Structure 1
C-alpha cells in the first residue's frame, strides 16, 4: 500500500483511529523505529538506491553508459585474444569514433523531438543526401558561375543553401502531416524515396568533388581540428560551465523552496563531470598527426624535423565541436524554452495540449523543419569529411538515427526523451559498427546486429514504462 492509497483510505478526522493507524502515529511521534510493513517501511533503501536518489543520477543513463563500456571493453579484449593486440581502446580509434558519431548524433537530437510528439521521420538519410548535394553543387557549379572560382565566400553561401533546403523539405513534411492529416510514417517514407531520387537527378548520378578547402575543414582531419592548446581551453571552459550549472541549480532550488541535493552530492556531480571532460581532452590530445602530414606541414612552415619526429596533437575535431554545440542548443531549447515545453506537452497528450491553446499543427511544422535543418548539418559534416557529395550519401542513416534516439531513452509512445541520451545512443550505435568493422564482420552481420539492438531497445523501453506505471 503506497502513501497515496493510505491517504485516500484514511478514516475521517471524526472517526476513531484503528489499531494500525494508532501504531503508525505512535511511532512517528515517539521517534522510534518504523514499522516493518506498510508505506513507511518501503521508504527504506539500500546504499546504492540512496546514493542514486541523493545524486539524482538517471538510472537509464547509467545503463547506457554501462552498456557502452561493456561494448568498448568487449571489442578491445576480443582483439587482444584474436589478434594479439586491442585496437579499440586506442586514442586513434576513439578520436575517429567521435568524428564518425557527429553526423548521426546531430540528427538524433532532432529525432528526439519528432518521436516525443508521437511521429517518426524515415527520410532523414535522404534529406542528408539531398542537402549535401545542394551544398556540393553550390560550391562546384552554381556559385562559381556567378562569383568566379576564387571567391572566398562560396562555402558560406553553400552551407546557407543546404540548410535552407533542409528546412524547406522538413517544413513541407510537417505541413503534409499537420494540415494534410497524412501519417508521418507515410509522408517520410515517401520522402525517403523522393529526395533520394531528386539528389540523383540534380547531378545525374555524378560525384561532386572536390569541394571548397575551407568547407572541408568542417569534416575533421588533421587540419580540421583545433589542436591541444585550444582543446584545453574548451575543456577548462566546460569545467567552469559544469561547476556554475551545479551552483546555479542549487541556488534556484533554494530560491523557490525546492528540495536540494546534499552538499556532498553536488560536489560529486561536479567532480565527475569535470573528470569526464578532462579525460575526453586527454584522449583527443593523445592522437597525433600522421608522420606524412607532419613532414608536409613542416616543409610548408619551414620547420626542421628532428630525427625523433614532431608530435602534433589533433585535439577536438570540428565535427565533434559542432555536435557539442548542437547538443547544448537542443538541450536549452527543450528544457528552457516555451517551444520545448510545448513539445513535451504535445507528446504527453496532443488533445489536451490543443485544448490548452497550443497550436499543435504549427508546432508539428516547426519540429519537422528543425529536423530538416539538423539533417542538413549532418550532410555538411558527411560531405566535408569525404570532400565530395554523392546521391548515396546518408543511405540507411535513418535507421541509425532512430535507433540512437530510442536506445537513448526516447519512448516511441511519446512524451519522454532526452538530448544527451540520444547522443550517447549515437555513440553506442557507432561503437557497435566500428567494433564490428575492426573485428571483420560482414556488412550483413552488422545489419543483423543493428536491427536486433533496435528491437531490444524498444522491448526494454516497453518493460520500463510498464514498471513506471
Structure 2
C-alpha cells in the first residue's frame, strides 16, 4: 500500500499538480455523480451543466477578486450589495437616462452602461479600501457597513421598483436568448485554447532551460497537454451538445434566412458569453497574480504585512487598489446578472457575498493570508453552484440550501487549517 501511495506521489510530483486543486476537481465530479444518481440521471445532462455554468459566471468573476482580498488578510462582505446597487444603476441608465442622452436604441448604449457600472464599482471599492487603509477601520466592519449601505442604496435608486427591459445587445452578456456563440465558433475557440496550452508548455520548458531550472519529464509534459486538451474539448463538447428547442430553432432559422428541413433543425447553443467572460477574467487575474509586480506585492503583503512594508511596498495604496479591483469585478458581475435576468431589482445579489467568500475559501484561499489561487476560486464557484442546483433539482427548500452552504464553508476552513498544520 505504501509503495502504491509513493508511486502516486511521484506521479503527481512529476506533473507538478496542486494536490488541493486535484482534490477540488475530484470533489466536484463526486458531487455531480451523487446528484445525478439521486435525481435519476437528470443532473449530468448538457442542459443542466450549461445552466450551472451560466448561473455561476457572476460568482466566478467576483471570486477571482476575493482571492486577492483574502490573500491580503482582509474580507469583503459588501460584494453582493455592490452588485445589486450597480445593477440598479445600470438598469436606470439603459431605460431612463441614456436613451434621452444618446437616443433610443443607440448602438453604444449597452457599452456605456457596462463601462459606467465597472467604473462605479471601482470607485466604491476604492472608497472602502481607502477607509480601511488610511483610517484604520477593519475591513470586516467597513464592508459589513457597506453591505447595509449599498443594499439600501439599491432600493433608494428606484424606491424598490424593478427596471426593465434591458438593451437587446446588453442582454447577450447574460447568456440568454442569443447569448451564445454557436457550434463552429465554440469549436474554433476550443482549438485556439488547445494550441495556447501547447505553446504555454513549450515556452515554459524553454524558460526553465534558459534559467537552469529543473525540467519535468517529457512524459509529464505530454500528460499535462493531454489533460488540458481533454478538459477544454470536453467543455466545448458539452456546450455543443445542448440544442435549441424546436420552436426556438425554427424562429432562429426564420430570422436568419435558414431553410428548415422536414425533420427539423438541430442548432447547438455553443459556449455561453458570460462563461467566456468569466474564463477571460480568470485568465487575466491569474496572469496578474503570477506574472506582474502587483500580483507579487499582493502575496507578499498577505504573507507578512510588516516585512512587505519594510521592503518598500506601499501597503496602503495596495489595499486601495485591491478593493478597487474587487469593485470593478462586482460591476462586471452585476452586468452579467442584470443581463441574465433582463431586469434590475434591488434584491439582485442577495447573499452572493457568502457564495463568493465560500468559493474562494473552498478553492484553497487561506483566511490567514498569503495563499490562494484563481483557478481554485473558479472551481469553488462551480462547487457551490453545483450544490445549489442539485438541491433545487431534488426539491430542497431555500433555508436548507443555506444551511448546507454554511456547513460546507465551515468544513472548507477546517480542511484549510488541517492542511496548513500538516504542511508546517
1:75-114 deviations in whole A, cap 9, x for unaligned? 001112xxxxx11110001111111110000000000000
Q: Is the 8 A contact 1:126 1:192 kept in 2?
A: yes
Q: 2: CA distance between counterparts of 1:301 and 1:172?
A: 47
Q: Secondary structure at the match of 2:24?
A: helix
Report deviation, 1:152.
1.7
Question: Is 1:402 aligned to residue 362 of structure 2?
Answer: no
Decide which of 49, 70, 78 is 1:115's aligned counterpart: 70
Q: 2: CA distance between counterparts of 1:362 and 1:241?
A: 34
Q: Is the 8 A contact 1:222 1:314 kept in 2?
A: no
Q: Secondary structure at the match of 2:39?
A: helix
Question: Is 1:334 aligned to residue 286 of structure 2?
Answer: no
1:214-243 deviations in whole A, cap 9, x for unaligned? 000110024110001000111011001111
Show structure 1 runs of 4+ deviating over 4 A.
Answer: 42-45
Q: Is the 8 A contact 1:227 1:316 kept in 2?
A: yes
Q: Secondary structure at the match of 1:49?
A: helix
1:142-185 deviations in whole A, cap 9, x for unaligned? 11121221322111111111111100000000000000100000
Q: Is the 8 A contact 1:104 1:400 kept in 2?
A: yes
Question: Is 1:359 aligned to residue 277 of structure 2?
Answer: no
Q: Is the 8 A contact 2:105 2:167 kept in 1?
A: no
Decide which of 413, 433, 440 is 2:395's aligned counterpart: 440
Q: 1: CA distance between counterparts of 2:177 and 2:14?
A: 43
Question: Is 1:137 aligned to residue 92 of structure 2?
Answer: yes
Question: Is 1:319 aligned to residue 269 of structure 2?
Answer: no
What are the within-5 Å matches in structure 2 for residues 296-307 of structure 1? 296-307=251-262
* 1:391–1:43 Cα change, 3 Å: same
Decide which of 22, 39, 46 is 1:91's aligned counterpart: 46
Question: Is 1:291 aligned to residue 251 of structure 2?
Answer: no
Decide which of 117, 128, 141 is 2:83's aligned counterpart: 128
RMSD: 1.3
Q: 1: CA distance between counterparts of 2:64 and 2:261?
A: 46
1:93-136 deviations in whole A, cap 9, x for unaligned? 11111111100000000000000000000000001011111111
Question: Is 1:74 aligned to residue 37 of structure 2?
Answer: no
* 1:143–1:57 Cα change, 3 Å: same
Question: Is 1:178 aligned to residue 133 of structure 2?
Answer: yes
Q: 2: CA distance between counterparts of 1:302 and 1:245?
A: 41
Q: Secondary structure at the match of 2:349?
A: coil
Specify every segment of 5 or more residues in structure 1 that has no aligned partner in the other structure, as ranges.
1-41, 81-85
Question: Is 1:102 aligned to residue 57 of structure 2?
Answer: yes
TM-score, length-normalised on structure 2?
0.98
TM-score, length-normalised on structure 1?
0.89
Specify every segment of 5 or more residues in structure 2 that has no aligned partner in the other structure, as ranges.
none
Q: Secondary structure at the match of 1:270?
A: helix
Q: 2: CA distance between counterparts of 1:354 and 1:44?
A: 46
State which drifts further: 339-348 or 199-208. 199-208
Aligned to 2:190: 235
Q: Secondary structure at the match of 1:435?
A: helix
Q: Is the 8 A contact 1:174 1:368 kept in 2?
A: yes
Q: Is the 8 A contact 1:222 1:289 kept in 2?
A: no
Decide which of 88, 97, 105 is 1:150's aligned counterpart: 105
Aligned to 1:187: 142
Q: 1: CA distance between counterparts of 2:3 and 2:204?
A: 26
Aligned to 1:35: none
Q: Is the 8 A contact 1:346 1:353 kept in 2?
A: yes
Question: Is 1:262 aligned to residue 217 of structure 2?
Answer: yes
1:249-274 deviations in whole A, cap 9, x for unaligned? 11111110111111100110011100
Q: 2: CA distance between counterparts of 1:298 and 1:59?
A: 47
Q: 2: CA distance between counterparts of 1:276 and 1:144?
A: 43
Q: Secondary structure at the match of 1:264?
A: helix
State which drifts further: 144-153 or 427-436. 144-153
Question: Is 1:421 aligned to residue 376 of structure 2?
Answer: yes
* 1:70–1:157 Cα change, 3 Å: same
Q: Secondary structure at the match of 2:265?
A: coil
Q: Is the 8 A contact 2:32 2:44 kept in 1?
A: yes
Decide which of 195, 203, 212 is 2:158's aligned counterpart: 203
Decide which of 407, 412, 420 is 1:465's aligned counterpart: 420
What are the within-5 Å matches in structure 2 for residues 364-379 of structure 1? 364-379=319-334
Report deviation, 1:45.
6.9
Report deviation, 1:304.
3.6
